[in-house]
Chain A
Amino acid sequence: AQSVSQHNHHVILSEAASLELGCNYSYGGTVNLFWYVQYPGQHLQLLLKYFSGDPLVKGIKGFEAEFIKSKFSFNLRKPSVQWSDTAEYFCAVINTDKLIFGTGTRLQVFP
């Protein structure tokens, strides 16, 4: 069965710092990968997704993620975080139309 690992459970940064959140998945075949964000008190929103093509995917709000097949990774990056990026971030993989979520990373950004 597919699984998703997010090793950073809680990340604390100052504004303007660079961000990289790790995501590893277990399946070796064709994968569709997602990053979702959940701002405090709000619903899950799609940040970006990868299903084919350019392994460097650009998302909303300046986020990007790189699919590295050899490392089974899909890390999320942002060069300069803002206070408004404080949220919970979930990596997910599709398995026959079911989303398998990682455990999430709580990001806190301080001004």
Chain B
Amino acid sequence: DAMVIQNPRYQVTQFGKPVTLSCSQTLNHNVMYWYQQKSSQAPKLLFHYYDKDFNNEADTPDNFQSRRPNTSFCFLDIRSPGLGDAAMYLCATSREGLAGGEQFFGPGTRLTVL
């Protein structure tokens, strides 16, 4: 089945220790998104890619970076995680021009910062 896969599902890191979360997709969608979702809150868009074009949200901290080496993979790098970065990180994809703009979400990676 075509899907959005996120690894790992659970990640524990130490305060200030860099961490990388990964997302892969078999949908061949050209748009990929990273969201941060804290407990009982709506997902908050961090950035997204149109193909290789990177689009950062204005309020995304510099601590968060992303890489998209090819269509299928996208990475979220947190350079120096703080306690406030503990959250669920969601990856999503969509196909540009698809009527309705539906996004397909992965299961998320829950990040714990000690």
Shortest distance between the CB of B99 and any CB in chain A (Å): 6
Whether the Cβ atoms of B94 and A102 lie closer than 8 Å is no
Closest B residue by C-beta to A104: B42
Q: Contact check, A104 vs B40: say whether CB atoms are below 8 A apart.
A: yes
Is B43 an interface residue when CB atoms closer than 8 A count as contact? yes
Query: Is B13 close to A, CB under 8 A?
Result: no
| Most chain A C-beta atoms within 10 Å of own C-beta, residue among B40, B90, B103, B108 | B103
Contacts A44-B90, A51-B99 given: A101-B40 contact, CB under 8 Å? no
Evaluate whether A104 and B41 lie within 8 angstroms (CB atoms) in the complex, with A97-B31, A99-B103 already known: yes
Given A98-B45, A101-B42, A104-B40, verify A32-B100 contact (CB < 8 Å).
yes
* Known A-B contacts A32-B100, A51-B100; A103 and B41 likewise in contact (beta carbons under 8 Å): yes
Provide the main secondary structure of the chain B interface: loop
User: Is B40 within 8 A of A44, CB to CB?
Assistant: no
Q: Is the interface of A mostly helix, strand, loop or mixed?
A: strand
Q: Once the chains are docked, how many angstroms separate the CA of A106 from the CA of B39?
A: 12
Q: Which residues of chain B have C-beta atoms less than 8 A from A101's C-beta?
A: 42-43
**Complex: A97 Cα to B92 Cα, angstroms:** 12
* B105 A34 Cβ-Cβ under 8 A: no
Q: Give Cα A94 to B96, complex, Å.
A: 12
| Contact of A99 with B107 in the complex, beta carbons under 8 Å | no
- The answer to whether B40 touches A106, judged by C-beta atoms less than 8 angstroms apart, is yes
Ordered nearest first, which 9 A-B pairs have the shortest CB separation? A101-B42, A44-B105, A51-B100, A43-B107, A94-B101, A43-B105, A103-B42, A49-B100, A32-B100
Cross-chain pairs A/B with CB under 8 angstroms, 11 sampled: A32-B100, A32-B101, A51-B100, A51-B101, A88-B40, A90-B43, A97-B101, A99-B92, A99-B101, A103-B41, A104-B42
- Chain A residues with CB under 8 Å of chain B are 32, 34, 36, 42-46, 49, 51, 88, 90, 94, 97-99, 101-104, 106
